[in-house]
Structure formats: C-alpha cells, structure tokens
C-alpha cells in the first residue's frame, strides 16, 4: 500500500512520537504511517513494530480515508451489546427468584 505524506501530516506524526502526551497506541499508528510513507515493506514493518498485517492495513486504510484524525483515539472496534437498563435487570432478578 502506498501512502504519500504532506509536510504538515509528516511533522504532526513526528511530533506525536516525541510527545509525552501521546499514548503508545497512537504512537504506533504514527510509526505505521511514517514507515509506510518511507516505502518500507510490510514484512519489515510487521517485524519491527510487532504487529500483524491486518493491523497495518487497518491503520493505513484509516489514514487514507480520514487523514490524521483517523489515527486519533476513538472507536477502533464496533460496540458490543449495550448494558441492560436497571429496570430490566430488576425484572430478570425478580423472575429468577420467584420462578
């Protein structure tokens, strides 16, 4: 996959790598994009960054679709089953205790 970085995005990603305010996951995403833009092969990135090919492809695709904002902390997985409302929990407990 080919990624071209503009100076602004490249500088932002490089700043992320040096920042104490940026978490390790976001730094990893920055490394993936920077190293991909350098033209490094997928196998090398997988080895150096200890990530899978699907992980590389996820963040590359996210960057191509959303730019820098796609790499910032946010929804990386689809939400699971929402928690039950308290009244529903109470109803289930009542039925369980009486039935």
Residue 12 covered by a domain = yes
Residue 96, domain member (yes or no): no
Q: What pLDDT digit, counting tens, does each position of 71-94 carry?
A: 987 655 566 677 778 888 788 878
Query: Which residue segment(s) compose the domain that 20 sits in?
Result: 7-71
Residue 85 lies in a domain: no
The mean pLDDT of 1-28, rounded to a whole number, is 92
pTM (2 d.p.):
0.73
2-6 CB contacts, 8 Å cutoff, 24+ apart: 2/36, 3/33, 3/36, 3/37, 3/60, 3/63, 3/64, 4/37, 5/33, 5/34, 5/37
- Quote the number of domains for the chain: 1
């Amino acid at each position: 996959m080919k990624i071209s970085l503009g100076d602004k995005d490249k500088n932002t990603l490089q700043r992320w790598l040096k920042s104490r305010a940026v978490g390790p996951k976001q730094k990893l995403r920055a490394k993936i994009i920077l190293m991909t833009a350098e033209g490094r092969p997928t196998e090398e990135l997988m080895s150096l960054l200890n990530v899978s090919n699907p992980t590389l492809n996820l963040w590359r695709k996210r960057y191509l679709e959303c730019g820098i904002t796609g790499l910032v902390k946010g929804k990386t997985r689809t939400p699971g089953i929402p928690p039950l409302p308290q009244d529903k929990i109470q109803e289930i407990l009542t039925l369980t205790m009486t039935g």
